[in-house]
Homo-oligomer: A and B are copies of this chain.
Amino acid sequence: MSTVTCQISISLDGYVAGPDQSLQDPLGRGGLRLHEWLFAADRWREQHGESGGEAGVDSQVVDEAIRDVGAYVMGRRMFGGGDGPWDLTWRGWWGEEPPFRTPVFVLTHHPRPSLPMAGGTDFHFVTDGIHSALEQARKAAGDREVAIAGGASAVRQYLAAGLVDTLQLHVVPIMLGAGERLFDGLADLRLKQTRVVPGPTVTHVTYRVLP
């Protein structure tokens, strides 16, 4: 069965998004700084159709995180388009050729027909909960990994339900001071460190989630 993975950037004070998140500012105040290491990685830029960037350890980490993914699950907020019923003109943040290139299962309370995009990304909208979305993603992924793409709320729900096998944190030496904490409500989570990759500015630590 597919391994379920999750990788997410976290500030040293424990936040995965800054304060005052909104539709206009989905990562919250200062939240974009969590991802600066990522935006600089050539592998990420290539995945997102941009040139330039740096090769190196961070890029290898990105490559390893995405190359074996056969399907993604993401929360409604990460897909965007507001919290209510769908405006069908909203096709995600990523333009006509999203970087996922696999099926993507979007958790939502509002049904919507599947949305095939260029480059192999098909968005499917799942209204019957996180277990169903994961089940569908597993089927779509076959032997490949299922990645919980985010946002924080989706990641927390899957961690709380014991459905994640490996968690990779990109530990970014910034303080956000407020915002959304990854581990709130997850006091029972049990992890075992399995791998540490020192990047030039951030540290990538992989944990196996224990039953």
Interface residues of A (CB under 8 A from B): 12-14, 169, 171, 173-178, 181, 183, 186-193, 195-196, 198, 200-203, 205, 207
Give the CA-CA distance A177 to B174 in the complex, in Å: 21
State which of B178, B183, B188, B202 has its C-beta within 8 Å of the C-beta of A12: B183
Residues of B within 8 A of A196 (CB): 196, 198, 203
Contact B193 A13 (CB under 8 A): no
Task: Describe A's contact surface by its main secondary structure.
Answer: loop
Contact B192 A173 (CB under 8 A): yes
Contact A13 B13 (CB under 8 A): no
Give the CA-CA distance A207 to B172 in the complex, in Å: 11
What 16 additional pairs, Cβ within 8 angstroms, besides A13-B186, A14-B14, A171-B171? A12-B169, A12-B191, A13-B183, A13-B187, A14-B181, A14-B183, A171-B205, A175-B188, A175-B190, A176-B187, A177-B188, A193-B202, A193-B203, A198-B198, A203-B203, A203-B205
By beta carbon, the residue of chain B nearest A177 is B187
By beta carbon, the residue of chain B nearest A11 is B183
By beta carbon, the residue of chain B nearest A200 is B193
In the complex, what's the smallest C-beta–C-beta distance from A169 to chain B, in angstroms? Answer: 8
Residues of B within 8 A of A13 (CB): 14, 181, 183, 186-187
